Amino acid sequence: MERGRIDSEPRGGRDREVGRTPGNEAEFAYWLRNMLVDHRFTPEEAASATALRVDEVQEVARRLGFEPEAGPHQKADEPLRVRPYPGGRHPRIGFLDGAVHPQRETKVSVFTPWDPISYVVADVPEAIWSNLGLLYLAHTHVPTLWTQQSIELEAREWSRCRDGSLQGRRRLPNGIEFGTLVRPTVTAVRMAMWLKNGTGARLTDLRVQNCVMLGRAAGFTEPSNENKVFSPPYAACRSAGGDRWVITAWEPCDRLWGNPPCPCMHSDPKFPDCGPGETRRLRGWLSFYEGRDIRGEFRRIDGTGWRRTPREQEP
């Protein structure tokens, strides 16, 4: 495996994520709506995600009046629809052996404005490296610092904010903390990531792998990189029809690439070196575009100033 890149050959195994049963009625309603209405899960998929029986899921869905065929549609003046990815259905459609037990607490679904059923899944972060080794991996595939020590990280969830933003946060056993903020707007999803060094030594080589999985968006499922454009810091995927695009970017960008079997694309950033007690930050972007002038769209996005947003105005 190339250092700093999770795309090696499969090691065996399949997705066996353990379902998470909601703790109360309100959470039950939220997650079932998320699964059945937003993501159009089958009852079997929802049962897998909640560790419930299929008949229990169907009974609650009937009682709450969930009708997937009447699900939400994107309106022109509404923020892009962003939801925590609920698990129960693998976010990839290929190379599943390279992502066993995908953890939902780093994954968000961003629904396309032209199709209420189609969505991409952003894994933010999928992985974080440092001079210490692989600090975090959002699924099971290759060893991390913690699996090498038989330390199991606790399950986490996104915090849901009133404005529709999602916040994720994790503290690692050695005191390193990191978090992600995902804020939907009408035209784009703005993202920010931070890392705080809670160790007593300087951290270097802080590379991050942020993945946008495309297999659940109609027209973007081709297992190829021929439909992608990489222009730092932007990675963009073209639809089969040629006139729709998914665009992502992170700053400062360290590497652009795609993994055709998933299929997915990456704009992978890198934190500056971080001394003890210090915090470093990254900025991210995800948007959709209809048209054929993708490089013109990159220039338009640059014009929003998203890369130069002052810290006090960060999403």
At residue 9, the pLDDT reads 31
For residues 117 and 40, the answer to whether their CB atoms sit within 8 Å is: yes
Per-residue DSSP letter, 175: S
**CB neighbourhood size of 11 (10 A):** 11
Residues in the chain: 315
Radius of gyration of the chain (CA): 19
At residue 3, the pLDDT reads 36
Give the C-alpha separation, 125 to 176, whole Å.
Answer: 15
- The residue to which tokens 């610092």 are assigned: 145
Q: Which two tokens stand for residue 94?
A: 């290929």
Q: Which residues of the chain have pLDDT under 50?
A: 1-16, 310, 312-313
At residue 141, the pLDDT reads 75
- Measured distance between the N- and C-terminal CA atoms of the chain, rounded to whole angstroms: 34
What is the layout of strands, in order, in the sheet containing 228-231? 159-160, 166-171, 177-184, 189-196, 279-290, 244-251, 234-238, 228-231
pTM of the model: 0.91
Please give the single-letter amino acid code of residue 298: F
At residue 65, the pLDDT reads 86
Most distant pair of Cα atoms in the chain: their distance = 55
